[in-house]
Structure 1
Amino acid sequence: MSSDAEIRKLARVLGVAPERFSYLRDVPAADLRLLRDQVTSVLFDAHRGALERMAGASRLLPTPLLARMAESVFGPVLSARIAGLVEVSRGVDIAKRLSPGFLADVAAELDPRRAAGIIAGFPPPLVVAVARELARREDWITIARFVDTLPETAIVASLGAIPEHALPRVAELLDDPARVHYLTDLKATHDSRGRNSS
């Protein structure tokens, strides 16, 4: 992982242009990743009590209403903060009712580690729809963050939605270098199955 890639990811977490952190280019990538993890924790743990109360109150409302409220009232940032605090089966049910575009917005704001159970419960067509939307936006940072945490079945389901030319860009943004080979091996297996079935 290069320092430039880490700077881009840190800038994404903070919602600013990467150029603002050009002075960090000489900082080792591992230190920048630690900083990014700390910043993510601060952002997601701020107002945790209020978010937990909101997640608790959401149990009283039907999921179709919550899905409409997520898109029209809460927005992607608040939805991303609450996602990790909602019961998994309920979170999956809400997510299934959201548009792929809104889920892509939430994905860009989400720390996937905090909502891993919900993400793992997404049906493959939903994973593919969100991956396709992220690829359309060329949001390789978000795709890489999910490759780092998604179960293999979800990654395999979404591989067809990620253009071949984008895989190196996704690979350079992965937190775990071992996942680079894992991703390329999965892609090769996916492509080979596609050829064999045709």
Structure 2
Amino acid sequence: MTPHEGEILKLARVLGAPAERFGYLRQVPLEDLRRFREQVTDVLFDAHLGVLQRMAAASRLLPAPLLAKMAEVVFGPLLSARIAGLVDPGRGVEIARRLSPGFLADVAAELDPRRASGIIVGLPEKLVIAVAKELARREDWLTVARFVEHLPDTVIVASFGFITDDALVRIAPLLDDQARIAHVVSLLPEDRLDTIPGDLAG
């Protein structure tokens, strides 16, 4: 997969449509396509913004254990992802710590990491690694790629224990920042540097 194809795949995920429907966008320059995808994301996340802001404000009045239960049972992953970018990061971390890795993986697939970076960096590494492991089990490499830029090196290194070389090859073209590939590869243990494809190793 090329970075261009990866960008189309990300756009298709945002719109909830098959990537094949957007094949005509292969002729659009990569940076323009990325900018368009970010604009679409912003429009979707800002839809009904007033209602979401009121829900986020109301969440300050309820105990975190109750909100965590409501997130899983009532809100679901899509609405939880929309609200996550509007709550105070500390409060978001307090709630997320009480959610299961499986549900957090569902939320991650719907989340715009740009809007919730404060929550992401505040989560316990053990929980982040558990979510990454669940995403790897699902082979949801698109979601994994979208969070690589927001994760500390210690989490990335720990993830090498369950992310194979083949998976790394599939994740690399999906990164928004292609320069990040070299950094990720530099964190690999020496015994894996000889096993990854040459184009990934640079």
Distance 2:157 2:53 in 1: 33
For each residue in 1:110-167, what CA deviation from the matched residue of structure 2 results, as whole angstroms up to 9, or x when unmatched?
0001100100011111011100110111111110000022233333343323223201
Partner residue in 1 for 2:106: 105
Partner of 1:124: 125
Residue matched to 2:160: 159
Give the match for residue 22 of structure 2: 21
Q: CA offsets per residue over residues 78-126 of structure 1, 9 Å max, x none? A: 0000001111111111111111111000000000011001000111110
Cross-structure match for 1:68: 69
Aligned AA for 1:136? R
Structure 1 distance, partners of 2:97, 2:192, is: 28
Match of 1:143, as an amino acid? Answer: V
Provide, for residues 151-188 of structure 1, a one-character-per-residue CA deviation record: whole Å limited to 9, x for no partner: 33333343323223201111111111110001111223
- Divergent runs of 4+, >6 A: 189-192
**What residue is the counterpart of 1:172 in the other structure?**
173
- TM-score (normalizing by structure 2): 0.90
Partner residue in 1 for 2:88? 87
* Contact 1:116–1:150 (CA under 8 A) maintained in structure 2: no
Higher normalized helix content (fraction of residues): 1
Q: Percent identity?
A: 67
- State whether residues 3 and 26 of structure 1, in contact with CA within 8 Å, keep that contact through their aligned partners in structure 2: no
Distance 2:170 2:85 in 1: 28
Partner-residue secondary structure (3-state), 1:161? coil
Question: Structure 1 residues 61-70 or 143-152, which shifts more?
Answer: 143-152
**RMSD in angstroms over aligned alpha carbons?**
1.7
C-alpha distance in 2 between matches for 1:20 and 1:116: 31
Q: Secondary structure at the match of 1:86?
A: coil
1:144–1:171 contact (8 Å) kept in structure 2:
yes
Q: Are the aligned partners of 1:156 and 1:190 in contact in 2 as well (CA < 8 Å)?
A: no
- Ranges in structure 2 where 5+ consecutive residues have no aligned partner: 194-202
**Is the 1:144–1:170 Cα contact (8 Å) retained in structure 2?**
yes
Matched residue pairs, number? 192
- Paired with 2:117 and 2:67, the residues of 1 have a C-alpha distance of 20
Report the TM-score when normalising by structure 1: 0.91
Distance 2:124 2:51 in 1: 30
The match for 2:197 is none
Partner of 2:55: 54
Match of 1:12 in 2: 13
